[in-house]
Amino acid sequence: MNNVVLTGRLVRDPELRFISGSGMAVAQFTIAVDKNLSRDKKQQFEAQGKPTADFIRIVVWGKQAENCNSYLSKGRKVAINGSISTSSYVNKNGETVYTTDIIARNVEFLERMERRDSGVSQDSFGELDRDYDADFASIEDDPHSPF
């Protein structure tokens, strides 16, 4: 079974593109996932200039890719559920480059955030109308009421 669950923070903003022909959206971003190190080992790694996190590239398709592009930005915490995909290509120098990506089935936003292109909070409903009709009488608090 090829199933991966990761939690980490975006290293940079997602990059969104659309596949020519089909118009399918695809977003890519990298998350930093902390290594499971003891406090002493983490301090040792930091002193030696070694990374204390792994940097993992995530690929998201379809409407979810568009949502990631709209709502995620550098530093945001996410949970990813997906599968590992390995591939290779030949670069400009004729060298074979091997890649490992996570193809996300589900991206969960773990923090409240604002939409990148509008500044609107994801769960904002605007200001509530506080202008009540004068017909309503004020209700006294009942000390015996459980509410």
Tell me: pLDDT of 143 over 80: no
Q: What is the DSSP letter of 136?
A: P
Reported as a pLDDT band with limits 50, 70 and 90, residue 111 is confident
Predicted local distance difference test score (pLDDT) of residue 125: 37
Instruction: Give the tokens for residue 81.
Output: 């559920």
What are the sequence ranges of the domains in the chain?
4-109
- String of b and e for 19-47 (b: at least 16 CB within 10 Å)? eeeeeebbbebbbeeeeeeeeeeeeeeee
Place of tokens 């609107």: 120
- Identify the burial level of 78 via C-beta atoms within 10 angstroms of its C-beta, where 0-12 means exposed, 13-18 middle and 19 or more buried: buried
Tell me: pLDDT of 99 over 60: yes
Report, as an integer, the average pLDDT of 60-89: 96
The share of the chain scoring above pLDDT 90, in percent, equals 70
Report, as an integer, the average pLDDT of 54-81: 96
Tell me: pLDDT of 147 over 90: no
Q: Which amino acid is at 57?
A: R
Predicted local distance difference test score (pLDDT) of residue 141: 65
User: In terms of CATH, what superfamily is 4-109?
Assistant: Nucleic acid-binding proteins (2.40.50.140)
Predicted local distance difference test score (pLDDT) of residue 119: 55
Report, as an integer, the average pLDDT of 119-132: 46
pLDDT tens, 22-32?
Answer: 999 999 999 99
Q: Which helix (H) or strand (E) holds 71?
A: helix 63-71
pLDDT tens, 6-23?
Answer: 999 999 999 999 999 999
Q: Which amino acid is at 18?
A: F
Predicted local distance difference test score (pLDDT) of residue 117: 58
For residues 62 and 24, is the Cβ–Cβ distance under 8 A?
A: yes
124 versus 40: the higher-pLDDT residue is: 40
